[in-house]
Amino acid sequence: MRKAALYLSVLVGAVIMLFPFLWTVITSITPKGSLAGGPTLLVKDPTLDAYRTLLDAVPMWRIMLNSFGIAIAATVLQLVTGAMAGYAFARLPFRGKNIVFAGYLATLMIPLQVLVVPLFIEMKTFQLNDTYIALLAPGIASAFGVFLLRQAIAGVPAELDEAATLDGAGHLRIFATIVVPLIRPTLATVGVFAFMSSWNSFLWPLVVIRSPEFMTLPLGLSTLQGQFTTEWDVVMAGSVLSIVPIAVVYLLAQRHIIAGVATTGIK
């Protein structure tokens, strides 16, 4: 009975969490779907007209390609810079290491809204506004990713480094062949956070992008909301298209996390 109650509570929690997504899908296939009437699970004459309207209203494929390109590039760069910085903080002795790392952690308390103006001025100084570089530049490195990867690398036994050093391996080889394979779960976690952060970013693209060809998905979806009326079925169709890649990335990363935990051999 106790186990049945536990599974029942988890099932109820899962249904509550999934219901908004289900309602989003249902509204997107409802003719002239509206949020005013409250949620409904029965759709009369479901249609995909909202998706056709969406593709006609905005250059959806170009916008999604922009979001994919920026999100993937930001994820790869954050993993590379975060892993290398984490290795330096965890393994390399240098003067002022703890002070520099404390400075990194301090930046986590600064919200993006505070940094928007100086970042905008910096991009304007280098004449990079309204370009892909302006979209990508703030996401090249992440203090949160550096922190997580530094903690993961610090948990790797130092004896492995010493054994590799005796075999003639340098820091680059130790980092690439020993440390990186052993921190795959953390790399997958940081990758998920980086991809989601870039994919869902709205404020920064809103500030630096003016041309429609450089728009990302959140910025493109915001153009669907009118001043007086909004076609919610079209907005929800765009929301469905924006949710699917995130769900796929999370499921793939979850599989790698489980595999990494099972194969690392570190307690």
Q: Write out pLDDT tens, residues 162-187.
A: 899 888 888 899 999 999 998 888 89
Question: Model confidence at 257, in pLDDT bands (50, 70, 90)?
Answer: low
Round to whole Å and give the CA distance between 67 and 77: 15
Q: Which residues contact residue 267 at a Cβ distance below 8 angstroms, ignoring those fewer than 6 apart?
A: none
Round to whole Å and give the CA distance between 143 and 95: 20
Claim to verify: residue 74 and residue 189 sit in the same structural domain: yes
Claim to verify: residue 176 and residue 107 sit in the same structural domain: yes
* Mean of per-residue pLDDT scores for the chain: 85
pLDDT at 215 over 80: yes
Specify the length of the chain in residues. 267
Claim to verify: residue 184 and residue 60 sit in the same structural domain: yes
Round to whole Å and give the CA distance between 17 and 36: 21
Task: Give me the CATH number covering residue 182.
Answer: 1.10.3720.10
Question: Model confidence at 264, in pLDDT bands (50, 70, 90)?
Answer: very low
- What is the pLDDT averaged over residues 20-29? 86
**How many structural domains is the chain composed of?**
2
Give the rounded distance of the alpha carbon of 243 from its chain centre.
Answer: 12
- Taking alpha carbons only, the member of 197, 194, 195, 200 closest to residue 239 is 200
Claim to verify: residue 30 and residue 148 sit in the same structural domain: no
Claim to verify: residue 69 and residue 183 sit in the same structural domain: yes
Claim to verify: residue 90 and residue 38 sit in the same structural domain: no
Claim to verify: residue 36 and residue 60 sit in the same structural domain: no
Claim to verify: residue 36 and residue 156 sit in the same structural domain: no
Instruction: Give the CA distances from residue 85 to residues 92, 112, 150, in Å, rounded to whole numbers and listed in that order.
Output: 10, 22, 7
Question: Model confidence at 50, in pLDDT bands (50, 70, 90)?
Answer: confident
Claim to verify: residue 92 and residue 146 sit in the same structural domain: yes
Provide Rg for the chain, Cα atoms.
23
Which residues, listed in sequence order, are joined to residue 225 by a DSSP beta bridge?
Answer: 230
Q: Which residues contact residue 97 at a Cβ distance below 8 angstroms, ignoring those fewer than 6 apart?
A: 89
Instruction: Give the CA distances from residue 115 to residues 65, 121, 132, 142, in Å, rounded to whole numbers and listed in that order.
Output: 27, 10, 19, 14
Claim to verify: residue 31 and residue 54 sit in the same structural domain: no
- Asked if residues 204 and 125 have their Cβ atoms less than 8 Å apart, the reply is no
Claim to verify: residue 54 and residue 43 sit in the same structural domain: no
- Taking alpha carbons only, the member of 89, 81, 78 closest to residue 191 is 78
Claim to verify: residue 164 and residue 217 sit in the same structural domain: yes
Round to whole Å and give the CA distance between 236 and 242: 10
pLDDT at 259 over 60: no
User: Which residue range(s) make up the domain with 201?
Assistant: 48-264
Question: Residues 74-131: pLDDT tens digits?
Answer: 999 999 999 999 999 999 988 988 899 999 889 988 888 889 999 999 999 999 999 9
